[in-house]
Structure 1
Amino acid sequence: MWSIVIPTYNRLPILQKCLQALEQQEFPHPYEIVLVDDGSDDGTVQYLHDHTQNFPHVRLFQQDHQGAAIARNTGIDLARGEIIVFIDSDLVVTPVFLAAHAQALAHAQALGGSDRAFTYGSVINTNNFENPTSEKFTIQDISTAFFATGNVAIAKHWLIAAGKFDISFRQYGWEDLELGVRLKKLGLKLIKCPDAIGYHWHPAFTIAQLPRLVDVEAQRGRMGVLFYQKHPTWEVRMMIQMTWFHVLLWGILSLGGLLNERSLRPLLAWLVDQGKPQLALEIARIFLNWYSVKSVYAAYRQIS
């Protein structure tokens, strides 16, 4: 038995595509989709109640809006499968998704003699809502994360042994990588599984997204310091960009913050109008990273 655990919050349009793809798996073993709704108010729950016949593998559970870490822990607790697959609710997978994870896990166990390993599939970013699986892999899709919940398969008992997700991560970021540190301490190995492809949809960049993106970086900085408190290592400092190298890098590139969402707004708007939203977003990442670094140090000073 396999359990696909998905937390969701106000993502109904792309969630429909996510679930439809999971219902079309070419997989010889029984599986379930444990969907944990984290307090959505966009009609997600009503839609699923009205279309239960379309999603026979889905088991829906509801909770108040408490964040992804608690939602995933709820999914772990309620999952009936021995293997848990984590994906996000804005991921659309191919028909061989589960089979690819299963083959890679079996191969790793045959080589290592135990199940002390997990598989990490490919995540391809796209803003093509109509046909998300048409996107090609690019260099920007390369991930160096050890454990990330966008596309991963792992035996349930290892998640329990590691203590599951730390629920003190209530804002955006780092809860999955923090769990990855604990899994690594248990001796688990990362097995790349490029054939388990998930297409991560997000809307094309617009100027209207800037306030939310700025807020996300502030949250990421605060949660990054929480990550460092729990694991005060140089590796974690590098992950959360709490080094003088990152201060200099993003400080120089943003001209000490002079290049920001206000000063660059005309350029970003022009690029979006020219049909180049991805380029606009990459430029915006300069000051967004600067905000993240500033937030990390501000949060660190506060706890110190």
Structure 2
Amino acid sequence: MTETPLTPEASVIVPSRGGAQRLPRLIGALAAQEDAPPFEVHVVVDGDVDGSEAVLAQLAAEYPVLDLSWTVFGENRGRVAALNAGADATSGRILIRADDDLEPGPHYIRDHVAAHDDGPGGAIGLYVNVLEPTPYQRAYGDAQDVLHREHAYALPADQQWRHWAGNVSVPRALHEQIGGYDPDYRQYGWEDIDYGYRLHAAGYPVVIRPELETRHHAAAVTTHSKAVRALHGTAARNLFVGKHGAAPLGTIGAPRGAWGAAVRLVALGTTEATLTRSSALIDAVADHLPRGLARRLIALQVEGAAEAGRAHPHRAQRAI
């Protein structure tokens, strides 16, 4: 007699591009879940540039008890398309987004599902970054990671939607109600914040939950990679403002005072090409400077790039 498979209570959606080296850690952690309701895992490979599909086939054989499936796009279509396709390909009541560089703990599924016991809304788990000790990370990144979490937990309830990212969950019915992720976001970033805001604007609570904190193995961060993301991400922020207005974000310009003037001055000459040269120089000297000076130089580069993207969005017209 064939046993009828259980309908999944949760669907884990994993958008992935170039994730062949990252996926084994994530899938292994999901296969080791404890006290979890029935769940499925669906990976959407956004253009297979590194043999990710073959890795997934190996993982499916290694963990036969895990309900693992995947979709492979023939070309790069972007994270929004991957997230929406993953939702369409699954059936669980709760949709859990897990980016491919996460390392979930043993109660990841249990806790995400339980976060919705009190009614519909969005649940956010912050990252606990596990990053290589680059000059950027030593001088700036480690301290910023701590400050980021402290700031997030201190936010009032009606502003926590701003931290919607790669470790979140929402009831499927609510995802469908707001229309999924917005396909207009093709540049780096802000599809997440847009989604979180639309949940909030529809009247649903979006809550950061400490029990959902998850280890995050991002690629090695350099001043260059962080500044380029700031450049493109802030240009995408302009799209958000065009859709929803500036009021949800508060002040979006450069800071005031002498530091703000310095940020705007750096922004005047910032392009992706200039960032390649100046950021490489900062990374080369950061370990040889007093820590405070190195931190300010990195902050000036990153904030200047963000201001360039806001004030001069034509410099950041790159789809991902």
Asked whether the two chains share a fold, i.e. TM above 0.5, the reply is yes
Change in CA separation of 1:185 and 1:235 when aligned onto 2, cut-off 3 Å: closer
Which residue is equivalent to 1:112?
none
Q: What amino acid maps onto 1:119 in structure 2?
A: A
Residue 138 (str. 1) matches residue 146 (str. 2): yes
Contact persistence 2:34–2:106 (CA under 8 A)? yes
2:77 to 66, 82, 85: 66
1:93 to 95, 104, 110: 104
Matches within 5 A, 1:201-280: 201-206=217-222, 210=224, 212-236=225-249, 238=251, 241=252, 243=253, 245=255, 249-252=259-262, 256=266, 261=275, 262=277, 265-271=280-286
Unaligned runs of 5+ in 1: 110-114, 130-134
Q: What amino acid maps onto 2:26 in structure 1?
A: C
Which residue is equivalent to 1:105?
116
Contact persistence 2:282–2:297 (CA under 8 A)? no
Distance 2:260 2:279 in 1: 15
Question: So what's the TM-score if we normalise by structure 2?
Answer: 0.76
Instruction: Give the CA deviation at 1:235.
Output: 2.5
Task: State the Cα deviation string for residues 262-299 of structure 1 (Å, max 9, x = none).
Answer: 4564452243589x9xx968742421221121121123
Instruction: Give the CA deviation at 1:96.
Output: 1.1
Residue 126 (str. 1) matches residue 130 (str. 2): yes
SS in structure 2 at match of 1:293: helix
Contact persistence 2:123–2:168 (CA under 8 A)? yes
Task: State the Cα deviation string for residues 42-92 of structure 1 (Å, max 9, x = none).
Answer: 111111123321243211111121111111010111121010011211111
Distance 1:247 1:70 in 2: 41
Matches within 5 A, 1:46-195: 46-55=54-63, 56-63=66-73, 64-106=75-117, 109=118, 115-127=119-131, 138-142=146-150, 143=152, 145-146=160-161, 148-195=164-211
SS in structure 2 at match of 1:245: coil
Instruction: Give the CA deviation at 1:140.
Output: 3.5
Percent pairwise identity: 22
Change in CA separation of 1:78 and 1:7 when aligned onto 2, cut-off 3 Å: same
Residue 36 (str. 1) matches residue 75 (str. 2): no
SS in structure 1 at match of 2:69: strand
SS in structure 2 at match of 1:138: helix
Contact persistence 1:2–1:84 (CA under 8 A)? yes
Q: What amino acid maps onto 1:252 in structure 2?
A: A
Which residue is equivalent to 1:132?
none
1:10 to 6, 14, 18: 18
Which residue is equivalent to 1:299?
313
Task: State the Cα deviation string for residues 100-132 of structure 1 (Å, max 9, x = none).
Answer: 2233322xx1xxxxx232221231111169xxx
Question: So what's the TM-score if we normalise by structure 1?
Answer: 0.80
Higher strand share: 1
Let me know the Cα RMSD of the aligned residues. 3.2
Which residue is equivalent to 2:137?
none
Q: What amino acid maps onto 1:154 in structure 2?
A: V
Contact persistence 1:205–1:272 (CA under 8 A)? no
How many residues matched? 281
Contact persistence 2:116–2:171 (CA under 8 A)? no
Distance 2:294 2:47 in 1: 32
Deviates more, 1:34-43 or 1:291-300: 291-300
Distance 1:14 1:285 in 2: 29
1:19 to 23, 27, 43: 27
